[in-house]
């Protein structure tokens, strides 16, 4: 009954199973980790894009790469399967000047990048475009959407108690949001207490992946920067994502 052939096939099947198990373990371990974005890589991308070329007016931060201390984690899933991972200990925040404002890119990790293009006017700033890239083991999406009509990001007058809200489309996804200036509270940055205004924004997204996201920023009007930023995001649907992050600025002077 061809015992040699049977043994050969058994060994081949066993070898394939070992490889598949090894690949599966490697993928599982990779999915459970986040890759930090180095300052050198962020600077190289900033310089390549000509990030300092543009118009820097009132309400626009200094261009360059800022570093934030970061604590947080996230969990992604599809159906009954899910993977959790910690975020790196540092995040990069890259400011690139544009003709009418600036582009902010927040690199929580190589696997999770968020970008917003902001138009700045004497009345405040409005978001006109948004990017969200989230991947697990190389799988995911790099989503880029125009925002119509551009929602109010931050008004120039940030008096405690002020509230604003609105609705817009991110591509074809309906989004509603509400914001409030909660209080004034300093943040220690580089050994100094810097004054800040605490603003909380809650956004609800509809469509195939409904979700809620709460951003709380300790905003420095003088620097036009978040000195501290907390994110609490929950997305549901066929694919789920939960992200929590707490970021604190290390140095108010960017690397260029």
Q: What are the tens digits of pLDDT across the range 90-140?
A: 999 999 999 999 999 999 999 999 999 999 999 999 999 999 999 987 778
Cα→Cα distances 67→27, 179, 231, Å: 29, 26, 16
| N- to C-terminal Cα separation, the chain | 73
Per the structure, how many domains does the chain have? 1
Residues 46-66 as b/e (b if ≥16 CB within 10 A, e otherwise) read beeeebbebebeebbbbbbbb
Could you give the CA distance from residue 99 to residue 84 in angstroms, rounded to a whole number?
40
* pLDDT of the residue at 216: 98
Could you give the CA distance from residue 91 to residue 16 in angstroms, rounded to a whole number?
40
Is residue 244 situated within a structural domain? yes
Is residue 135 situated within a structural domain? yes
Is residue 91 situated within a structural domain? yes
Is residue 72 situated within a structural domain? yes
Give yes or no for a contact between 147 and 125, defined as CB atoms under 8 angstroms apart: no
Residues 14-30 as b/e (b if ≥16 CB within 10 A, e otherwise) read eeeeeeeeeeeeeeeee
pLDDT in tens, 39-71: 999 999 999 988 887 778 899 999 999 999 999
Is residue 11 situated within a structural domain? no
H helix and E strand count, the chain: 2, 16
Burial group, residue 199, by CB count within 10 angstroms (0-12, 13-18, 19+):
buried
pTM: 0.86
Confidence of residue 220 (pLDDT cuts 50, 70, 90): very high
Q: Work out the angle at residue 115's Cα, subtended by the Cα atoms of residues 112 and 118, and round it to the nearest 5 degrees.
A: 165
Is residue 254 situated within a structural domain? no
Is residue 26 situated within a structural domain? no
Q: Work out the angle at residue 231's Cα, subtended by the Cα atoms of residues 156 and 247, and round it to the nearest 5 degrees.
A: 85
State which residues form the domain around 71: 36-249
């Amino acid at each position: 009954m061809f015992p040699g052939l049977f043994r050969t096939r058994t060994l081949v099947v066993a070898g394939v199973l070992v490889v598949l198990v090894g690949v599966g373990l490697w993928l599982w371990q990779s999915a459970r980790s986040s890759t930090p974005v180095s300052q050198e890589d962020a600077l190289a991308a900033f310089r390549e894009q000509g990030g300092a070329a543009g118009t820097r007016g009132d309400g626009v931060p200094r261009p360059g790469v800022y570093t934030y201390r970061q604590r947080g984690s996230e969990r992604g899933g599809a159906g009954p399967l899910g993977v959790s991972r910690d975020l790196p200990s540092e995040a990069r925040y890259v400011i690139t000047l544009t003709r009418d404002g600036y582009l902010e890119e927040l690199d929580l990790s190589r696997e999770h990048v968020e970008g917003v293009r902001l138009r700045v006017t004497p009345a405040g700033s409005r978001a006109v475009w948004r990017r969200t890239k989230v991947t697990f083991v190389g799988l995911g999406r790099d989503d880029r959407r125009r925002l119509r009509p551009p929602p109010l990001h931050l008004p120039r007058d940030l008096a405690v108690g002020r509230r604003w809200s609105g609705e817009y489309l991110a591509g074809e996804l309906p989004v509603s949001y509400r914001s409030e200036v909660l209080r004034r509270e300093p943040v220690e940055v580089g050994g100094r207490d810097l004054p800040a205004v605490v603003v909380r924004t809650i956004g609800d997204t509809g469509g195939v992946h409904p979700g809620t996201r709460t951003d709380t920023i300790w905003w420095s009007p003088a620097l036009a920067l978040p000195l501290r930023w907390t994110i609490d995001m929950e997305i549901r649907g066929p694919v789920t994502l939960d992200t929590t992050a707490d970021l604190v600025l290390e140095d108010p002077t960017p690397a260029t």
